[in-house]
């Protein structure tokens, strides 16, 4: 089980949130709000927040812009991970991954199964790394966003989490590009 190393200082990350929906606006986007509130309450910075329609090109345009932005450390999307005709988030984002994070999907489904049972198979939650940016694609429900943040992301995006976390490996994600270290993180 993981724990917090109280001798380490918290390292705030810049996290962008993208809601993928044909019907939501910032005013009624409960899932994007859930993620934004949780990440800022944890001490991170909301680097950007947008809404995109369920369209591969529209989604990729935003994600590519954020991947290229040195001020964005991680991206969390919500929506478009189901099986309907308009659900295209994995198709839009997975081809951008340099490395897939298969364990994220497994962990998400384990958490989700405990709450909603076999209905978890209706989600294609996915994650990976592109351009030294972590990308997590979550379902569009506020409950799924809460579960993913509280059960996985809050700890893995906290530099103090032991035995390991994503923040401590950020400086090595793109060693070939010589990315500067996250402030406070050790290599």
- The count of structural domains within the chain is 1
- Break the chain down into helix, strand, coil percent, rounded to 5: 40, 20, 40
Q: Would you say residue 126 lies in a domain? A: yes
Please state the rounded mean pLDDT for residues 35-40: 98
Nearest to 56 by CA among 83, 29, 86: 86
Confidence class for position 187, pLDDT limits 50, 70, 90: very low
As to burial, measured by CB atoms within 10 angstroms (0-12 exposed, 13-18 middle, 19+ buried), residue 1 is exposed
Q: Which residues constitute the domain of residue 112?
A: 8-169
pLDDT digits (tens, 9 = 90+) for 123-172: 999 999 999 999 999 999 999 999 999 999 999 999 999 999 999 999 88
Please state the rounded mean pLDDT for residues 16-44: 97
Q: Would you say residue 179 lies in a domain? A: no
pTM: 0.92
At residue 183, the pLDDT reads 57
Q: Would you say residue 186 lies in a domain? A: no
Q: Would you say residue 41 lies in a domain? A: yes
The span from the first CA to the last CA of the chain, in angstroms, equals 23
Q: Would you say residue 177 lies in a domain? A: no
Q: Would you say residue 77 lies in a domain? A: yes
Q: Would you say residue 124 lies in a domain? A: yes
pLDDT digits (tens, 9 = 90+) for 175-184: 765 545 555 5
**DSSP secondary structure string, 80-124?**
--SSSTT--HHHHHGGG-SEE-HHHHHHHHHHHHHHHGGGGGG--
Instruction: Answer yes or no: is pLDDT of 31 > 80.
Output: yes
At residue 57, the pLDDT reads 98
Q: Would you say residue 120 lies in a domain? A: yes
CATH number of the domain bearing residue 57: 3.40.980.10
- Could you tell me how far CA 14 lies from the centroid of its own chain? 11
At residue 180, the pLDDT reads 53
At residue 1, the pLDDT reads 76
Nearest to 172 by CA among 185, 160, 163: 185
């Amino acid at each position: 089980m993981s724990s917090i190393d109280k001798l380490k200082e918290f390292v705030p990350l810049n996290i962008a949130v993208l809601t993928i929906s044909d019907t939501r606006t910032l005013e009624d986007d409960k899932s994007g709000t859930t993620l934004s509130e949780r990440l800022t309450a944890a001490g991170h910075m909301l680097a950007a927040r947008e809404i995109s329609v369920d369209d591969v090109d529209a989604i990729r345009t935003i994600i590519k812009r954020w991947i290229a932005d040195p001020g964005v450390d991680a991206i969390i999307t919500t929506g478009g991970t189901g099986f309907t005709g308009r659900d295209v988030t994995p198709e839009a984002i997975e081809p951008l991954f340099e490395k897939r994070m298969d364990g994220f999907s497994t962990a998400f489904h384990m958490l989700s199964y405990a709450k909603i049972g076999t209905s978890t198979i209706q989600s294609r939650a996915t994650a990976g790394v592109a351009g030294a940016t972590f990308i997590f694609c979550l379902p569009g429900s506020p409950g799924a966003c809460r579960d993913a943040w509280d059960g996985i992301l809050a700890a893995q995006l906290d530099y103090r989490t032991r035995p390991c976390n994503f923040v401590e490996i950020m400086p090595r994600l793109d060693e070939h590009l010589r990315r500067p270290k996250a402030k406070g993180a050790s290599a």
